[in-house]
Amino acid sequence: MPIATVNPANGETLKTYQAMDEEELERRLQLAGATFRTYRTTAFADRARLLNRAADLLDEDRAEIARVMTTEMGKPVKQARAEAAKCAKAMRWYAEHAAGLLADERPAESDVRDSGASHALVRYRPLGPVLAVMPWNFPLWQVVRFAAPALMAGNVGLLKHASNVPQTALYLEDLFHRAGFTEGCFQTLLIGSAAVDEILRDERIRAATLTGSEPAGRAVASTAGEMVKKTVLELGGSDPFVVMPSADVDRAAEVAVTARVQNNGQSCIAAKRFIVHADVYDRFAERFTEGMRALRVGDPLEEETDVGPLASEQGRADLEELVDDARRSGATVLCGGERPDRPGWYYPPTVLAGIDREMRIHREEAFGPVATLYRAADLDEAVLIANDSPFGLSSNVWTRQEAEVDRFVRDLEAGGVFVNGMTASHPALPFGGVKRSGYGRELSGHGIREFCNITTVWHGA
């Protein structure tokens, strides 16, 4: 895949870039290693000052970088601006909280004495250069939620971004440099996916994080396992959105529309499978379909647009295959389902009902504005349908019954359970999944500690 900006609204190639040669790549790896040796000793206050400056610059650049993101991957520009604002918020959150999250931990005095020590503690130390392999769908946020905690922990980062968002990738490197971070603290590597394996095998790379597809995650995990290197993986998701009879059904249907089509439906944590109790199924299906049908599909640079194009022609083709397979297998198309006759890689908001286990869309992630509807007889069946997926990233539950909430929290196989709301990420809350959605956590204290050497310090009596 070429490293290029191709506008998904019209298919026009705007900019192309040459991949870095081996000499430049080696220079950057050397620089990362050398920079880490000094940066790791900096004080939290100094790191926080730099990260807060990066947040200020990002706020100043918000309108400009939002247009770049929209032009590169097609998200509505108002959502792109919100993404930039969220990144600045996360930077400030880690700048404020990192020192406390990584403060020395002291065991109980009785345990210290029992170990034969006069005193003991646990200290969090940085690991070293971390390779980040990041996707195009949230081209700023996916990177910042890694970079902010990594830099505050004293690590340095090397970014291999998706090849269709090179301008955003280069902007991130420039942003951190303008903020005052030394050159080797955060570097963008303009390379193809084939180069990742060799870089990950380099001894100077101490760990890796990847957000992306399951095949990409398997490849990185395999190499990292062979080299015995720490990884954090956030892979696909096919999140359930469960609606029970006690829920505010109209509100659930309204939120469900946003939960499905945010980012043009190209989000791992977007709700994709809508599992509705039989008692309220018809009402929810009607309201939800009305909401999906009413969305405005159009130029993502226009403020009124709700849904823009998919990021790539291949992505649209993959989505069409899932819809066509479901239709051939007996699914009912309640709205959408047909490619519009216009330039660009657009696909309409689509609702499918009558889904069964044999359809590909039941097992595979639909990465676009396509929703599947399921009718559940009771809570037990709702849980069974929700868990009948290879993924386990997050989940959404709508009910006013606390006993039902407790049951869903206990039994849903997911990294998050969001009650009477849609899944969202926040710097204070851990983010990640189970099953084929990956392992490890980003954000919160859990995320910043993923790439730390958790060190026991023991002093003899």
The residue among 399, 398, 374 whose CA lies nearest residue 387 is 374
The residue among 421, 369, 364 whose CA lies nearest residue 397 is 421
Q: Which of 87, 185, 268, 452 is catalytic?
A: 268
The residue among 293, 234, 289 whose CA lies nearest residue 267 is 234
Contact 132, 209 (CB under 8 A): yes
What does the block give as tokens for 299? 């130029």
**DSSP symbol at 19:** P
What does the block give as tokens for 54? 């990066």
Distance CA 173, CA 159 (A): 9
Length of the chain: 461
Hey, which residues does 187 pair with through a beta bridge?
A: 158
Distance CA 97, CA 77 (A): 30
Q: Is 268 designated active site?
A: yes
Alpha helix positions (H), 240-367 = 249-261, 281-294, 313-328, 360-363
Distance CA 209, CA 206 (A): 11
Q: Which of 72, 173, 234, 364 is catalytic?
A: 234
Phi, psi of 247 (to 5 degrees): -70, 160
Contact 433, 392 (CB under 8 A): yes
From residue 26, alpha-carbon distances to 31, 33, 247, 283, 424 in Å are: 8, 11, 57, 60, 38
Q: What is the DSSP string of 133-157?
A: E--SSSTTHHHHHHHHHHHHHT-EE
Distance CA 404, CA 389 (A): 21
Give the amino acid at 183: E
What does the block give as tokens for 399? 């009910």
Distance CA 311, CA 319 (A): 12
Distance CA 203, CA 144 (A): 25
Residues with active-site annotation: 234, 268
